[in-house]
């Protein structure tokens, strides 16, 4: 849907020399010292799939706002190719580019950028009026967009009569009204206070579930990035530091810079059971002899084990006392009647915060089962604690996730 | 240090212009004098009718306070037997301010969009504004003879700078992200100018027009020296005859005119909010050419997108 290839943006003169340095891999500081040019974006390549919520994350000055403006060519790249649906936008004439911006790429701004002299409804209808749609149809469409963002009744208000959160809803409505496939959102929620931010994030997720836009979302807040993003591109000093899903970045930071970043992230909300679970070290089948299982329990210093059937569904938990009794009776296989059901299960998508109250309450670890009821892994208490701490002891579990 | 004959150079240049471009100056003179006569004609309605019109404008722009002041003040002018001169002066001010606005506002827009233009115009404007006003009158008389026309031209040159400066400033001050938003939604440069930059710069532009009118009014008295009819010549005659009473009466009439025009345009400059409407159809910018509303027409010229009457459906 959107593809950027080897994008560079150099601000200032002499651009060619600075570009050469940047292409040769010089850092932003080196280029600035040598040429006086600022490298906004340096060798960035990325691809956004249709329907994806793609987050570009970085601190201020990392080039992320420049990057989003390269997509709709508000800033032309110094070199590199920017393609929208396979069309190179550098090859477009000005009228074609305007049509593209108007119909395909809607934008939402950090400080809302509403037109203060127009009503909320006129603001929402702006994109449609630019393309000369009749007033009645534009109004109708704008009213729909306002209803989508929960501002149905505020159409006749002026922007300065609204709170920050409401203003950004208008900004969002203005973008939705044009029916563009792509939303470019430049730090849209950064200027809002935390509670309101949470609210509009939820609104965005709700709208996205309903409308399936392709969204490029800029933020400096990694928690926001993790919360919203299907995939995240991390930038520093104009360069890409890491690209991947939230859990990927959390569990396998590309370098120290990313590690420092993710240290602040609330891991309990980003990582899920799937990311930390491991293969159960000890499971039994009905055919196993009680004394064999008892011996294996001893080897693992455990006192209970899951018993699975052929489809890996949990039949129950065999406990050492019952096994000892069965062994004394000389039974040759496990009998379901002696199992207990002292165990808990969860789903792979459950965030860690939801697991805290479940682990460590039974002799067997928390079981992770898929939709079909099959066991896909377990979360021992120690693993969960290690993952929460993000410490080296969680290494084994985390290397698991990296493959996931 | 050898003597550098700067003045001679300018004088030579002006002689050259006179010799080679006299046709152009004649054309300007003809157009300007027509304009002055035309506007003067509009102001030559009976006294009571003019006072009613002025009061209505005052009421619409500001409120009952200014309307009452307007009625009393203009009645005083009439009772001082300076009505005709006041209307002549008003005509010259309106024409000069109109031309200054028509030149200054587009120039300001251009300067705001092209940094180079801004860099070039700035020192020129400084020169125009600080050169003693009498100096303009000399070449103006050479080019246009005696009468209202050199007065209008000198007044206009003196009054252009604030229109350019405040238009440029107003457009530059429009929030960058707002302009970017218009661009991001596919607006053309002219749409951005008409729908975003000019409306948002309007308070600043109107403040510029207010300054233009005030400067024009201060200059128009000086223009009395070159025979422009009106309060200027009243004052100049009083000065030469040491007529204290006549001088002050003429001066008070100028002050009344100044207060009226200032309050009127200042009220227009204050940002006001349109009544909430549904979407307006985009129409071509109307050219307001009613002589009755010459002052308001100036406002409309500068503010087409925002100040045009809202045609609600």
Interface predicted TM-score (ipTM) over 0.85:
no
Whether A274-403 and A46-267 are alike in CATH topology: the answer is: no
pLDDT for A388 equals 77
Q: How confident is the model at residue A390 (pLDDT cuts 50, 70, 90)?
A: low
Q: How confident is the model at residue B272 (pLDDT cuts 50, 70, 90)?
A: low
B178, closest residue in chain A (CA to CA) = A113
Q: Which residues contact A14 (CB under 8 A, 6 or more apart)?
A: A35, A37
Residue A27 has pLDDT above 50, yes or no: yes
Q: How confident is the model at residue A5 (pLDDT cuts 50, 70, 90)?
A: very high
Q: How confident is the model at residue B303 (pLDDT cuts 50, 70, 90)?
A: very low
The token pair that represents A309 in the structure block? 């059937």
Quick one: what percent of chain B has pLDDT higher than 90? 44
Mean pLDDT of all residues in chain A? 87
* Interface with chain A: mutation pick from B187, B195, B277, B279, highest number of A CBs within 10 Å: B279
pLDDT for A357 equals 83
| Every domain of chain A and the residues it spans | 46-267, 274-403
A365 or B298, which is more confident? A365
Which chain A residues have any C-beta within 8 angstroms of a chain B C-beta?
72, 74, 98-103, 105-107, 109-111, 113-117, 119, 121-122, 125-127, 129-132, 135-136, 138-139, 156-158, 174, 178, 184
Of the partner residues B181, B195, B306, the one whose CB lies closest to the CB of residue A109: B181
> How far, in Å, CA of B176 to CA of A65, rounded?
14
> Tokens 């926001």 identify what position?
A224
Residues of chain B found within 8 Å of residue A126, distances taken between Cβ atoms: 182, 185
Give the β-pairing of A304-308 and A231-236: unpaired
pLDDT for B54 equals 94
Average of pLDDT values for A17-27?
A: 88
Q: Tell me which residue of A251, A273, A267, A272 sits closest to A367, measured CA to CA.
A: A273
Q: Which residues contact A149 (CB under 8 A, 6 or more apart)?
A: A169, A170, A172, A173, A176, A203, A207
CB contact under 8 A, B280 and A130: no
pLDDT in tens, A236-259: 999 999 999 988 888 888 888 888
CB contact under 8 A, B273 and A158: yes
- Chains A–B, number of C-beta pairs less than 8 Å apart: 81
Residues of chain A found within 8 Å of residue B180, distances taken between Cβ atoms: 74, 109, 113
Average of pLDDT values for A294-322?
A: 86
Residue A217 has pLDDT above 50, yes or no: yes
Quick one: what percent of chain A has pLDDT higher than 70? 96
Average of pLDDT values for B53-65?
A: 91
Quick one: what percent of chain A has pLDDT higher than 90? 43
Residue A395 has pLDDT above 90, yes or no: no
pLDDT for B287 equals 38
Average of pLDDT values for A202-210?
A: 92
pLDDT for A264 equals 75
Q: Domain A274-403's class?
A: alpha beta
> How far, in Å, CA of B309 to CA of B306, rounded?
8
pLDDT for B283 equals 41
Domains of chain B: 25-270+287-305 (1.10.3720.10)
Average of pLDDT values for A200-221?
A: 92
pTM (2 decimals)?
Answer: 0.73
Residue A302 has pLDDT above 90, yes or no: no
> How far, in Å, CA of A343 to CA of A378, rounded?
11
What is residue B308's three-state secondary structure? Answer: coil
Highest mean pLDDT among A112-126, A333-347, B257-271: A112-126
CATH architecture of residue range(s) A46-267 = 3-Layer(aba) Sandwich (3.40)
Residues of chain A found within 8 Å of residue B279, distances taken between Cβ atoms: 121-122, 125, 129, 135, 138-139
pLDDT for B1 equals 83
């Amino acid at each position: 849907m959107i593809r950027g290839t080897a994008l560079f943006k150099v601000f200032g003169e002499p651009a060619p020399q600075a570009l050469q340095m940047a292409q040769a891999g010089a850092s932003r500081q080196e280029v600035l010292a040598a040429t006086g040019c600022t490298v906004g974006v340096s060798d960035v390549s990325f691809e956004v799939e249709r329907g994806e919520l793609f987050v570009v994350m970085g601190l201020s000055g990392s080039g992320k706002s420049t990057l989003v403006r390269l997509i709709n060519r508000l800033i032309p790249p110094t070199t590199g190719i920017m393609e929208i649906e396979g069309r190179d936008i550098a090859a477009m004439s000005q009228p074609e580019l305007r049509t593209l911006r108007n119909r395909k790429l809607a934008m939402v701004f950090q400080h809302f950028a509403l037109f203060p002299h127009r009503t909320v409804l006129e603001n929402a209808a702006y994109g449609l009026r630019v393309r000369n749609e009749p007033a009645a149809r534009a109004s109708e469409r704008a009213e729909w967009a306002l209803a989508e963002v929960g501002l149905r009744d505020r159409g006749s208000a002026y922007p300065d009569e609204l709170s920050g959160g409401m203003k950004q809803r208008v900004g969002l409505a203005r973008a939705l009204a044009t029916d563009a496939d792509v939303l470019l959102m430049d730090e849209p929620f950064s200027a809002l206070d935390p509670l309101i931010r949470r609210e509009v994030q939820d609104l965005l997720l709700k709208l996205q579930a309903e409308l399936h836009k392709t969204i490029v979302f800029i933020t400096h807040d990694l928690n926001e990035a993790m919360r919203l993003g299907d995939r995240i591109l991390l930038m520093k000093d104009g360069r890409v530091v890491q690209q991947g899903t939230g859990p990927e970045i959390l569990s396998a930071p590309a370098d120290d810079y990313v590690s420092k970043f993710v240290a602040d992230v609330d891991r309990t909300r980003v990582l899920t059971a799937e990311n930390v679970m491991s293969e159960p070290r000890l499971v039994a089948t009905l055919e196993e002899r009680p004394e064999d299982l008892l011996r294996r329990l001893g080897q693992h210093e455990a006192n209970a084990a899951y018993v699975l059937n052929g489809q890996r569904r949990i039949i129950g938990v065999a406990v050492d006392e019952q096994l000892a009794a069965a062994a004394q009776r000389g039974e040759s296989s496990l009998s379901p009647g002696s199992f207990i059901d002292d165990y808990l299960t969860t789903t792979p998508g459950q965030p860690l915060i939801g697991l805290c109250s479940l682990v460590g309450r039974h002799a067997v670890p928390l079981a992770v089962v898929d939709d079909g009821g099959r066991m896909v892994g377990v979360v021992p208490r120690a693993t969960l604690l290690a993952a929460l701490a993000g410490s080296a002891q969680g290494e084994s579990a985390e290397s698991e996730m990296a493959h996931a | 240090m050898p003597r550098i004959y700067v003045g001679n150079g300018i004088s030579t240049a002006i002689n050259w212009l006179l010799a080679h471009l006299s046709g152009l100056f004649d054309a300007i003179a003809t157009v300007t004098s027509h304009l002055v006569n035309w506007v003067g004609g509009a102001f030559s309605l009976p006294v009571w009718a003019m006072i009613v019109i002025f009061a209505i404008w005052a009421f619409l722009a500001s409120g009952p306070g200014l309307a009452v002041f307007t009625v009393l003040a203009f009645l005083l002018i009439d009772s001082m037997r300076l009505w005709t001169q006041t209307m002549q002066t008003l005509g010259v001010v309106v024409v000069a301010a109109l031309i200054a606005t028509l030149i200054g506002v587009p120039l300001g827009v251009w300067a705001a969009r092209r940094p180079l233009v801004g860099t070039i115009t700035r020192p020129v404007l400084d020169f125009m504004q600080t050169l003693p006003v009498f100096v303009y009158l000399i070449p103006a008389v050479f080019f246009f003879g005696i009468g209202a026309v050199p007065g209008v031209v000198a007044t206009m040159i003196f009054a252009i700078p604030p229109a350019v400066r405040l238009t440029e400033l107003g457009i530059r001050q429009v929030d960058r992200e707002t302009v970017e938003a218009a661009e991001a939604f596919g607006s053309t440069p002219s749409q951005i100018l008409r729908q975003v930059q000019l409306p948002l710069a309007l308070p600043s532009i109107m403040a510029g027009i207010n300054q233009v009118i005030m400067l024009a009014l201060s200059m128009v008295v000086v223009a009395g020296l070159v025979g422009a009819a009106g309060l200027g010549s009243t004052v100049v005659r009083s000065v030469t005859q040491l007529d204290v009473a006549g001088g002050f009466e003429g001066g008070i009439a100028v002050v009344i005119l100044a207060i009226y025009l200032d309050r009127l345009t200042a009220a227009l400059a204050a940002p006001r909010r349109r009544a909430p409407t549904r979407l307006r159809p985009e129409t071509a910018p109307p050219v307001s050419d009613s002589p009755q509303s010459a002052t308001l027409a100036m406002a409309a010229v500068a503010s087409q997108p925002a100040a045009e009457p809202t045609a609600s459906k």
